[in-house]
Amino acid sequence: MPSVTVENYLKHLLLLAEETDGLVPMGALSAALAVVPGTVTTMVKSLAADGLVVHRPRQGVKLTAAGRRLALGVLRKHRLVETFLVQVLKMHWSAVNAEAEQLEHAISDTVLDRLDALLGHPSTDPHGDPIPSRLGKLHSQVYATLATCPLARPVRLVRITEQSAEFLQFAEQHGLLPGASARVTDRNLAAGLVTVQRPRGRPLALSLAAAGRILVEPAR
């Protein structure tokens, strides 16, 4: 049975792999886990010895098939627990990430399956992030973001890829929830500013970085 620590290394590796697409640099992992780089090196070598990752020294790490399978299991627990906390316990979506961080390591597969059924086998969590299936399929679609979508066209928000409670509260405050409609009216690369327009709302300015965390699809 993998330890809590191992599960966290694998989970973050999976999350970082989505972005960096290939080898994850040690520094990125170190930052994500909030441990010093030396610790990551040590730990990654032991994960490699267990066949969960491959380590290219001085270059980075990536998951093996076995490591990915484990990581998907943890991610599934995390996102199903989040969904439960919001839908059944009526918690605020900005608070559930921290809670799920703990519970994902304590919940058994048996309990998870019951939870899944209770929730009606949801395919995304409250942030719009896809929930891996029991078999470890992750229907990860490539979406545009508010930083990259066409100007002036109506879009629907599908996913907020940022977990910090502050950001999520800010997003909600301005109606930027999964499912909402909007339109990017202006994008100023030089200033790093994006202006979005919500139906019946005033224009809202976002940093390019923030806009890049909000995934959208064409409306209608």
Q: Applying CB under 8 A, which residues contact a second copy?
A: 85, 88-91, 95, 99, 102-103, 105-108, 110-111, 114-115, 118
Partner from a second copy, DNA, none contacting 60, C-beta within 5 to 8 A by type:
DNA
Q: Contact residues for DNA (CB under 7 A)? A: 3-6, 25-28, 30, 33-46, 55, 57-60
In the complex, least distance from residue 30 CB atom to DNA, rounded to whole angstroms: 7
Asked whether the beta carbons of 12 and 53 are under 8 A apart, the reply is no
Partner from DNA, a second copy, none contacting 111, C-beta within 5 to 8 A by type:
a second copy
Name which of 58 and 90 has its Cβ closer to a second copy: 90
Name which of 34 and 135 has its Cβ closer to DNA: 34
Structure tokens at 211: 């806009």
DSSP SS3 for 24:
strand
In the complex, least distance from residue 36 CB atom to DNA, rounded to whole angstroms: 4
Name which of 85 and 149 has its Cβ closer to a second copy: 85
Partner from a second copy, DNA, none contacting 20, C-beta within 5 to 8 A by type:
none
CA distances from 90 to 86, 93, 126 (A): 5, 9, 11
d(CA 162, CA 118): 26
Q: Spell out the residues 6+ positions from residue 193 whose beta carbon is closer than 8 angstroms to its own.
A: 186, 187, 205, 206, 207, 208
d(CA 205, CA 94): 21
Which residues on neighbouring strands pair with residue 193, listed in sequence order? 188, 207
Partner from a second copy, DNA, none contacting 90, C-beta within 5 to 8 A by type:
a second copy
Name which of 71 and 131 has its Cβ closer to DNA: 71
In the complex, least distance from residue 202 CB atom to DNA, rounded to whole angstroms: 40
In the complex, least distance from residue 201 CB atom to a second copy, rounded to whole angstroms: 31
- Where do the DSSP E strands lie in the chain? 53-56, 60-63, 144-145, 154-160, 181-188, 193-197, 204-207, 214-218
